[in-house]
Chains A and B, each alone.
Chain A
Amino acid sequence: MRKLNLKAIFAREVPFFMAMPAVAWQVLFFFIPVGLILFLSFLKSGNAFSLTLENYFYFLKPLFFGIIGRSLILAFVTAFCCLLLSYPVAYCLAVKIDRFKNLFLFFLILPFWTSLMVQVYAWFFVLEHNGLLNTLLMKVGIISQPIHLLNTTFAIYLVMIYCYLPFMIFPLYTALEKIDKRMFEAAADLGATQWQTFRKITIPLSMPGIKTGFFLVFVPSFGEFVVPTLLGGGKQIFVGSLITQYFLGARNPYLGSAFTCISCLALLAAVGLIYWFFKKKTVAPVNGRK
């Protein structure tokens, strides 16, 4: 009979034990609450332990579809604009610049280290009636009267893009940095113009970064409530702000949970759709043969 060697088992399972605290954290503060929300969404308000779909039926109204649609558009436009703005920056940093690269990266990450609240409040000073932007535009002579900037959709989009930019730049930079620089030389050698090299080599090879960045921006933007609430002045309701309303304002966790679940489903569907689109684009561009 073999003796159970506890020491050896322990040694073999060290990675498992080391992962335990993080897993416990995740289960305790994420999976259990999510399960709780799912459970709450099927409960009749006020009447304990009576299961119902009422909470879901409540949201089958154009008003709520509008809110979800608005949030999806916000998330998509934010992610797309971030991609367009970040790609040239990441490309320059990864491919064109070799000196002071770390310094530039440091400057890019600097605002990211500031609290989101502080960043958002700072934008008030830029966007308000007598703020920096209005003053500047008037000095230059583009406008004669201060324009209304705060509490507009424009303000929401502007600040959303600003806040989420680093989430896009860094995955893109990492992906572009990883591309063997001789790929560009090889493409040029085979007759590609700079634009052709960009389309046929740079974009496909940086696809992993584009995907990661897009989802890193898209998913949290969908539920964002700080920026739309503070800079939109509450005039436009987004998914994040409505959920906050139900839980903190109306104190109706049942409806809040149901709406959370519906939003999550909508988000998952959107993510699936975008994922499918990326996958279609990643397949070798011209030749479809096996």
Chain B
Amino acid sequence: MRSIKLQNIKKTFHGETILENINLTIPGGKIFALLGPSGSGKTTILRLIAGFEKVDEGAIFLGDEDITNVPINERHINTVFQNYALFPHLNVFDNIAFSQRLKKVPEDVIEQKVQKVIKTVHLEKHIYKSIQQLSGGQQQRVALARAIINEPEVLLLDEPLAALDLKLRERMLLELIDLQSTLKTTFVYVTHDQFEALTVADTMAIMNPDGQIEQIGTPKEIYEFPVSSFVAQFVGSTNIFKGVLRTTDEKHQLEIEGIGTCDVALPKHKDWITNGSTILMSVRPEKIDISKTPLEGFSNAVQGTVVSIVYHGRSTQYNVRLSNGQVIQVFEQNEEHFPKEVIDYDDQVYLYWQKENVVLLEK
């Protein structure tokens, strides 16, 4: 499978620049997720790849082939639309067979192909139903089948599960992953939902509200080693501290106003890391331990007061106010029915984390 390359893309709508200087390589044969808040231009990138929109500047390549000016209907790319865009005047079979009939494929071949994809998406029982008779999840499957029967090199999915409920969404995500590993088609998955992106993606890109790509990496890289506070806060939850870096040969510390100093581990090869520079530090809530009594063996400890408790089922979220007034989040797994130590509102608590588990950020 060929990769997709976007080169110096610029796109404006009615004089407003949506995308500028977009350079992106989407690896072939994998699931690539494009994650960003609404208005970040991720759908525009998808529409540019599909050909629904024309670039103002730049070029789009499929492998070595420049497809910038190839019309929509001649690109080997198919799309699963956000609200499916199924043809209401055709039944399930005819919707799926649409592209094959355009190509004048013989009817008996079409019949076989439709039967095959319909099995892949588990719709055998609904083959001659009208679109209006189907549930949201079934319509989603028809949209998928209609796109993959064409055997596209690239399948674009624009918020494909946004209209489904949570349980169905989780199941469809797993089915999509299965489908991709059978077809080996390149999937480009656009979503604003970090859970979906982390679940399906082999590689993902995070876009910020200004239409720039902030970071590209595997879900683990993005989550564990975000490159900016935007990425850290958009993917998962985090606590951001601002401080001045004090670094010597044997010790690296962050001086945070009103709290004190924290030991930190330095990332390699970052030119903005110098003694005395003001930087940010991100600590994920689940990487912090909470206790009413002092604990041994942690590189960092701060004290605070519990201001609120949110019970999530598998975990409990404690919001703790530190001595500088900042409120930070802590997640604790609910491992036991009857925990030894019960933490309540207004309790004085100690928070602990290891210096290896913090991420230093320039901005």
**A associates with B:** yes
Nearest 3 pairs of A and B residues by beta carbon = A190-B99, A182-B85, A186-B85
Contact B73 A183 (CB under 8 A): no
Cα of A56 to Cα of B88 in the assembled complex, Å? 48
Closest chain B residue to A197, Cβ basis: B73
Contact B89 A205 (CB under 8 A): yes
| Chain B 37-77 interface mask (CB, 8 Å, partner A; 1/0) | 00000000000001110000000000000000001111001
- From known contacts A188-B72, A191-B99, A191-B150, infer whether A284 and B50 are also in contact, taking CB-CB under 8 Å: no
Contact B50 A189 (CB under 8 A): yes
Whether, in the assembled complex, B235 has its beta carbon less than 8 Å from a beta carbon of chain A, the answer is no
Whether, in the assembled complex, A266 has its beta carbon less than 8 Å from a beta carbon of chain B, the answer is no
Q: Which residues of chain B are near A196, meaning CB under 8 Å?
A: 102
Cα of A290 to Cα of B51 in the assembled complex, Å? 35
| Chain A 274-290 interface mask (CB, 8 Å, partner B; 1/0) | 00000000101011011
B246-278 residues at the A interface, CB under 8 angstroms = none
Q: Which residues of chain B are near A190, meaning CB under 8 Å?
A: 73, 78, 98-99, 102, 146-147, 150
Contact A284 B90 (CB under 8 A): yes
Cα of A185 to Cα of B86 in the assembled complex, Å? 11
Q: Which residues of chain B are near A187, meaning CB under 8 Å?
A: 87, 98
Which bracket fits the contact residues of A? Answer: 20 to 34
- From known contacts A284-B89, A286-B94, A290-B128, infer whether A191 and B102 are also in contact, taking CB-CB under 8 Å: yes
Cα of A207 to Cα of B73 in the assembled complex, Å? 25
A40-76 residues at the B interface, CB under 8 angstroms = none
Q: Which residues of chain B are near A204, meaning CB under 8 Å?
A: 89
A-contacting residues of B (Cβ < 8 Å)? Answer: 50-52, 71-74, 77-79, 81, 83, 85-91, 93-94, 97-99, 101-103, 128, 146-147, 150
30 contacts between A and B (CB under 8 A): A180-B85, A182-B85, A183-B85, A185-B72, A186-B79, A186-B85, A186-B87, A187-B87, A188-B51, A188-B71, A188-B73, A189-B73, A190-B99, A190-B102, A190-B146, A191-B73, A191-B103, A191-B150, A192-B102, A200-B98, A200-B102, A201-B87, A284-B90, A284-B94, A286-B101, A287-B90, A287-B93, A287-B97, A289-B93, A289-B128
Cα of A204 to Cα of B51 in the assembled complex, Å? 25
Cα of A183 to Cα of B86 in the assembled complex, Å? 7
Whether, in the assembled complex, A193 has its beta carbon less than 8 Å from a beta carbon of chain B, the answer is yes
B-contacting residues of A (Cβ < 8 Å)? Answer: 180, 182-183, 185-193, 196, 200-201, 204-205, 207, 282, 284, 286-287, 289-290
Cα of A124 to Cα of B346 in the assembled complex, Å? 92
Q: Which residues of chain B are near A192, meaning CB under 8 Å?
A: 73, 98, 102
Closest chain B residue to A289, Cβ basis: B128
Cα of A286 to Cα of B83 in the assembled complex, Å? 25
Cα of A286 to Cα of B87 in the assembled complex, Å? 14
Cα of A196 to Cα of B72 in the assembled complex, Å? 13
Cα of A188 to Cα of B71 in the assembled complex, Å? 9
Cα of A187 to Cα of B103 in the assembled complex, Å? 13
Cα of A204 to Cα of B102 in the assembled complex, Å? 16
Cα of A190 to Cα of B143 in the assembled complex, Å? 11
Contact A185 B89 (CB under 8 A): no
Q: Which residues of chain B are near A287, meaning CB under 8 Å?
A: 90-91, 93-94, 97
Q: Which of A190, A200, A201 has the most CB of B within 10 A?
A: A190
Cα of A193 to Cα of B102 in the assembled complex, Å? 9
Cα of A180 to Cα of B88 in the assembled complex, Å? 10
Partner of B87, one of A183, A188, A282: A183
Cα of A201 to Cα of B99 in the assembled complex, Å? 13
Cα of A66 to Cα of B128 in the assembled complex, Å? 48
Q: Which residues of chain A are near B74, meaning CB under 8 Å?
A: 191
Contact A189 B79 (CB under 8 A): yes
Cα of A289 to Cα of B93 in the assembled complex, Å? 9
Additional A-B contact list (4), CB under 8 Å, known A201-B87, A207-B89, A287-B94:
A189-B79, A190-B146, A190-B147, A200-B102
Cα of A200 to Cα of B88 in the assembled complex, Å? 12
In the assembled complex, the CB of B85 is this many whole angstroms from the nearest CB of chain A, namely: 4
In the assembled complex, the CB of A107 is this many whole angstroms from the nearest CB of chain B, namely: 25
Cα of A180 to Cα of B79 in the assembled complex, Å? 16
Q: Which residues of chain A are near B87, meaning CB under 8 Å?
A: 183, 186-187, 201, 205
Q: Which residues of chain A are near B52, meaning CB under 8 Å?
A: 185, 188-189
